[in-house]
């Protein structure tokens, strides 16, 4: 199915038909940078390296909004929504992705109940997304889809390209798989968790029940899960309380059973996890080679074959 595309200036329509309804859309004509890929890479990298608060996540950097100053301004529609009255916000609410052509971000949905505004700054990416009401099986307590190339039969699917200047609104809990095309890709995300309950879906229910359970098991949680709980959507407890306020004890406990029942899926999840690992190692190599250098001096590996 085609994804709707509307002008970023059509804010009223965006809010009514897409943002509040939690439906994806591509906003066109958001930000134009006349700079070349090299120039943008060089500037962003220099700033990331200098900024002590920037942190490298698995596949991207988390940075503060002002790191983008003079490179690309926050689109007005995003700026209005990044309001602490309306949304839970993290300090480093911008994610920056650098990916060479051939890179694949495997099937997953984003944690922390995040809405993502994804601006393609340079290059082109091909997205496939699936609605949270037609979910994929994920490995227990995770957001990673069990199989590498799951069947799309019976799913509500949208496939589309994001070109320079296009901004995707990807609502929370939508599954996505993303291929990078061309020499080098740079995309920027603004992320937030709205302070209202999600549009009902099986994935939204799963996330709320999983977090309800994790909140109750807090003292016993492994370090990684504890960290996610305490920093959920950038604020921890208030966000988890909001997310889980309608979860009943019976549903929360039943979730434990449902996730444990998925444990055998680990036996078929290896290729998907290897794919994730491969993307991760490739990104690490690229980021290392970019660190503090202009992109033109960096050794960007551009694997042509897209088979992990």
Ligand X SMILES: O=C(O)CCC(=O)C(=O)O
Q: Is 110 an interacting residue with respect to Fe ion (CB under 5 A)?
A: yes
- Selected from 30, 105, 139, 203, the binder of ligand X by CB under 6 A is 105
- Selected from 125, 206, 214, 276, the binder of ligand X by CB under 6 A is 125
Q: What is the DSSP string of 29-70?
A: S-----S-HHHHHHHHHHHHHH-TT-EE-SSSEEE-GGGGTT
Closest residue by Cα to residue 148 from 298, 279, 299: 279
User: 60 is written with which tokens?
Assistant: 């991207």
CB-nearer residue toward ligand X: 74 or 99: 99
Contact 88, 196 (CB under 8 A): no
> Which one of ligand X, Fe ion, none is in contact with 286 (Cβ closer than 5 to 8 A by kind)?
none
Q: Is 179 an interacting residue with respect to Fe ion (CB under 5 A)?
A: no
Residue labelled with tokens 């799951």: 150
- Selected from 14, 18, 88, 97, the binder of ligand X by CB under 6 A is 97
Taken as a whole, the chain contains a residue count of 308
User: 8 is written with which tokens?
Assistant: 């970023």
Q: Which residue stretch of 33-41, 110-118, 253-261, 289-297 sits at the interface with ligand X (rule: CB under 6 A)?
A: 110-118
Site for ligand X in 171-210 (CB under 6 A): 176, 178, 187, 189
Using CB under 6 A as the binding criterion, the count of chain residues that bind ligand X stands at: 11
Cα gap 278→148, rounded to integer Å:
12
CB-nearer residue toward ligand X: 45 or 118: 118
Contact 232, 239 (CB under 8 A): yes
Helix (H, G, I), strand (E, B) or coil at 86: coil
What phi, psi does 95 have (nearest 5°)? -115, 140
Q: Is 62 an interacting residue with respect to Fe ion (CB under 5 A)?
A: no
Q: Is 116 an interacting residue with respect to ligand X (CB under 6 A)?
A: yes
Binding mask 70-109 for Fe ion (x = CB under 5 A): ----------------------------------------
The site for ligand X (CB under 6 A) is made up of 97, 99, 105, 110, 116, 118, 125, 176, 178, 187, 189
């Amino acid at each position: 199915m085609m994804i709707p595309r509307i002008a970023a200036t059509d804010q009223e329509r965006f809010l009514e038909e897409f943002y509040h309804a939690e439906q994806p859309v591509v906003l066109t004509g958001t930000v134009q940078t006349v700079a070349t890929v090299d120039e943008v890479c060089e500037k962003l990298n220099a700033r990331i390296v200098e900024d002590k608060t920037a942190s490298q996540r698995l596949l991207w950097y988390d940075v503060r909004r002002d790191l983008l100053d003079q490179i690309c301004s926050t689109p007005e529609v995003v700026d209005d929504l990044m309001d602490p009255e309306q949304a839970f916000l993290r300090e480093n609410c911008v994610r920056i992705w650098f990916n060479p052509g051939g890179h694949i971000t495997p099937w997953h949905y984003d944690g922390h109940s995040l809405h993502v505004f994804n601006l393609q700054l340079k290059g082109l990416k091909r997205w496939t997304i699936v609605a949270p009401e037609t979910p994929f099986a994920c490995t227990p307590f995770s957001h990673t889809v069990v199989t590498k190339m799951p069947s799309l039969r019976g799913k509500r699917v949208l496939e589309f390209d994001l070109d320079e200047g296009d901004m995707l609104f990807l609502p929370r809990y939508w599954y996505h798989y993303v291929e990078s095309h061309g020499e080098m890709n740079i995309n920027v995300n603004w992320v937030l968790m709205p302070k209202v309950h999600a549009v009902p879906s099986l994935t939204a229910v799963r996330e709320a029940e999983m977090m309800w359970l994790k909140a109750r098991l807090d003292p016993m949680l492994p370090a990684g899960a504890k960290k996610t709980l305490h920093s959920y959507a950038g604020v921890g407890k208030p966000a988890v309380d909001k997310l889980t306020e309608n979860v009943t004890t019976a549903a929360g406990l039943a979730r434990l059973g449902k996730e444990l029942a998925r444990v055998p899926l680990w036996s078929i999840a290896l290729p998907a996890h290897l794919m994730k690992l491969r993307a991760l190692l490739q990104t690490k190599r690229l980021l290392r080679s970019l660190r503090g250098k202009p992109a033109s001096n960096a050794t960007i590996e551009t694997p042509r074959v897209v088979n992990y």
